[in-house]
Amino acid sequence: MTLRFSRELKIFLNENHDNCTSCGNHFQNNELTHLGYKADNSFIYACNSCRHNVAETVVRYGYSKRSYEIPPNEAYLWRYLDFSKFVSMLFKKALYFTKTSLFKDPFEGAIGIFDNKKSYDRSMLFALLVAHMTAPINGREALPPSKEITDEALAILDRIDKNTLSADDEKLVAKAQALSQQMEDVRPLRREYTFVNCWHENPYESDAMWMLYSKDISNAISIRTTYQRLYLALDKDPDISIGRINYIDFNKSFSGTNSTQWYKRFSFAHEKEVRAVFLNPNYKEQPGIEFPVDLDILIDKIYVSPSADNWFVDLVKDITSKYGLDKEILHSDLAKKPLY
């Protein structure tokens, strides 16, 4: 093992998250994967069958699928904002990431609904029992969560219900419950150091988004970009994840334990949200973080509100030009005159 975990290697890992770069096969859930360098010092992220091609191992993972889906490179993303925020972005050449605890949605960062806590606690206990039973121990590598192991974890839950735990069961359950409590104590704190920058995915403008995300629609702006532009404008930052929100029924489902930032209620599905996410406890005292971006890369086109007067369109063009940005600026298509 080595400590050569460079920024470039992190980017390589992010861009090859799901497939072995040696044989091309898709990783299986919980498969042991190997990140490092080949003999020629080039990067490699290998499945267990191709680990012999890794000359220098940096880290090994138990593969798990991302909690979010990445849009196609050319998927259009829109950010609707007030004129003042638009000018601030031009001036600072930065995107503002807001702390999720400051969002109006009380379910931002939630696991589920409180009424289902007992069900969640039980499912978490099951997962932690399996984790303890498959963990590497005494030089043994981690085990895959086989049917025998998951069946035994279910049997332990049943013995808890019947109050028939053995002494060994009690030790294992105590460890799992202690870890579960630690996770429960820490979980709400994630909202304080999770920062997001939100976009709307759509091939076209959205009348609803104009209304929802601009305080004064007559002075509103929409920036159009693509997933690829956003990723490149943020300089491929390996500490920022960009993906689609999962919309679920919290009455029936739970969000991921360590991925609550990727889940929202179905009642928000109209937002078609793609968000850039940054997590870092070192920034928990800050309401938000500004990330420098290359605006020439980020911005494809600039749209002005359908409610805006022509003078405001000219003002946007003038301000944009003064900041040295040469982009097409369009009055919203929704402002065009209908033919009856």
Q: pLDDT of 274-302, one tens digit each?
A: 999 999 999 999 999 999 999 999 999 99
Are 105 and 25 found together in one domain?
no
Q: Is residue 71 part of a domain?
A: no
Query: Low-confidence residues of the chain, pLDDT below 50?
Result: none
Are 140 and 233 found together in one domain?
no
Q: Is residue 68 part of a domain?
A: no
> For position 244, what pLDDT does the model report?
99
Phi, psi (deg, nearest 5) at residue 134: -105, -5
Q: Is residue 242 part of a domain?
A: yes
3-state secondary structure (DSSP) of residue 61: strand
29: its two tokens: 């859930």
> For position 212, what pLDDT does the model report?
86
Structural domain boundaries, residue 99 = 76-110+190-335
Are 168 and 221 found together in one domain?
no
What are the start-end ranges of the H helices in 199-241? 207-212, 227-233
DSSP string computed for 202-256? -SS--HHHHHHS-SSGGGEEEEEEEHHHHHHHTTT-TTEEEEEPEEE-TTT----
Q: Is residue 67 part of a domain?
A: no
> For position 215, what pLDDT does the model report?
67
> For position 2, what pLDDT does the model report?
61
pTM above 0.85, yes or no: yes
CB 26 within 8 A of CB 10: no
Are 207 and 290 found together in one domain?
yes
Are 202 and 242 found together in one domain?
yes
Are 291 and 157 found together in one domain?
no
Are 309 and 218 found together in one domain?
yes
Q: Of the residues 160, 188, 216, which one is the last residue of a structural domain? A: 188
> For position 97, what pLDDT does the model report?
98
Q: Is residue 340 part of a domain?
A: no
Are 126 and 104 found together in one domain?
no
Are 31 and 164 found together in one domain?
no
Q: Of the residues 188, 214, 248, which one is the last residue of a structural domain? A: 188
> For position 146, what pLDDT does the model report?
85
Are 170 and 282 found together in one domain?
no
Are 258 and 306 found together in one domain?
yes
Are 136 and 231 found together in one domain?
no
What's the domain count of the chain? 3
* Dihedral sign computed on CA atoms, order 118, 190, 137, 131: positive
Give 175: exposed, middle or buried? Use CB within 10 Å, 0-12, 13-18, 19+.
Answer: middle
Distance (Å) of CA 234 to CA 24, 95, 268, 297, 312: 28, 9, 26, 9, 29
